[in-house]
C-alpha cells in the first residue's frame, strides 16, 4: 500500500496558487474565444506555470523517455543533419518544452530561435529533419503548425492512452547509413 505525501503550504503560497490558477483560467477562456491565438496562449500558460513554480507538478515535469530512441535520434542528427550542432541543441531543448499531457512542443518557432540563438529558418529546417525520421509529428492547424513529440520517444500519458498513442504513432526511420530518414533499401 502506498501513501500520498503532501507538502504543506503557507497562506501566501496558497494565495499565489489561486491567483495563477485564475490567470490560467482566463487565458484558457481567451483561447476558446480566439482560437487563432491558441499556440501563443498555450506557450504563455506553460511559461506562467514554469516561472511561478506554483507547485512541484509545475517544477518537475516528468515524461517517460525511450532512452534508446532518444539517443538514436541524437546520433542520427549528428551524422545526417545539415546543421548537426544546432540540431542536437534543439533536440535536447524540445524535451524541456514538452507538454506532458498532450505531447505538444510548447514553444513557437520564433521562441525556440530566440532561446537557442538559431535562425527561425534553421529551426524549421531542423524540425523538418526531425519529422522526416518520425521523431516529431507536425500538425497543421489553421495557418499555424503545431509540433508534437512522437510518443514512442517521450510521453507522460497513462498506460492505456500511452499504448493507444504509441500504436498510432509513426515508426522511427533511423536506419544506419540512411540520409534524411530514407531507408537505403
pLDDT of 185 over the 50 cut: no
Q: Are residues 35 and 107 in the same domain?
A: no
Half-sphere CA count of 155, side-chain side, radius 13 A: 20
Domain that holds residue 55: 12-59
Q: Are residues 105 and 42 in the same domain?
A: no
The full length of the chain comes to 185
Q: Are residues 74 and 107 in the same domain?
A: yes
Q: Are residues 101 and 140 in the same domain?
A: yes
Output the domain CATH number for residue 91.
1.10.10.10
Q: Are residues 123 and 32 in the same domain?
A: no
**Number of structural domains, the chain?**
2
Please write the tens of the pLDDT for every residue from 18-59: 888 888 889 888 888 888 888 788 778 877 876 766 544 444
As a whole number of angstroms, the distance between CA 25 and CA 8 comes to: 24
Q: Considering the entire predicted model, what is its pTM?
A: 0.62
Instruction: Using pLDDT thresholds of 50, 70 and 90, give the confidence band for residue 163.
Output: confident
Q: Are residues 127 and 43 in the same domain?
A: no
Q: Are residues 30 and 74 in the same domain?
A: no
Q: Are residues 52 and 69 in the same domain?
A: no
Q: What average pLDDT does range 63-68 have in this prediction? A: 80
Please write the tens of the pLDDT for every residue from 75-132: 999 999 999 999 999 999 998 888 877 888 888 889 999 999 999 999 999 999 999 9
Is residue 73 one of the residues assigned to a domain? yes
Please write the tens of the pLDDT for every residue from 129-161: 999 999 999 988 788 888 999 988 887 777 787
Strand partners for 138: 147
As a whole number of angstroms, the distance between CA 98 and CA 159 comes to: 18
Amino acid at each position: 500500500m502506498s501513501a500520498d505525501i503532501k507538502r504543506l503550504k503557507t497562506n501566501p503560497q496558497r494565495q499565489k496558487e489561486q491567483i495563477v490558477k485564475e490567470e490560467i483560467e482566463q487565458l484558457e477562456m481567451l483561447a476558446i474565444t480566439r482560437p487563432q491565438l491558441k499556440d501563443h496562449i498555450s506557450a504563455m500558460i506553460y511559461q506562467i506555470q514554469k516561472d511561478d513554480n506554483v507547485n512541484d507538478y509545475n517544477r518537475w515535469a516528468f515524461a517517460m523517455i525511450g532512452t534508446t530512441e532518444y539517443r538514436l535520434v541524437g546520433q542520427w542528427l549528428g551524422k545526417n543533419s545539415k546543421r548537426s550542432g544546432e540540431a542536437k541543441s534543439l533536440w535536447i531543448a524540445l524535451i524541456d518544452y514538452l507538454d506532458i499531457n498532450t505531447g505538444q512542443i510548447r514553444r513557437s518557432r520564433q521562441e525556440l530561435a530566440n532561446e537557442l540563438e538559431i535562425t527561425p529558418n534553421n529551426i524549421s529546417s531542423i524540425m523538418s529533419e526531425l519529422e522526416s525520421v518520425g521523431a516529431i509529428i507536425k500538425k497543421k492547424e489553421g495557418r499555424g503548425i503545431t509540433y508534437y513529440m512522437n510518443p514512442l520517444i517521450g510521453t507522460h500519458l497513462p498506460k492505456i492512452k500511452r499504448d493507444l498513442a504509441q500504436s498510432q504513432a509513426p515508426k522511427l526511420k533511423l536506419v544506419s547509413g540512411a540520409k534524411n530518414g530514407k531507408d537505403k533499401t
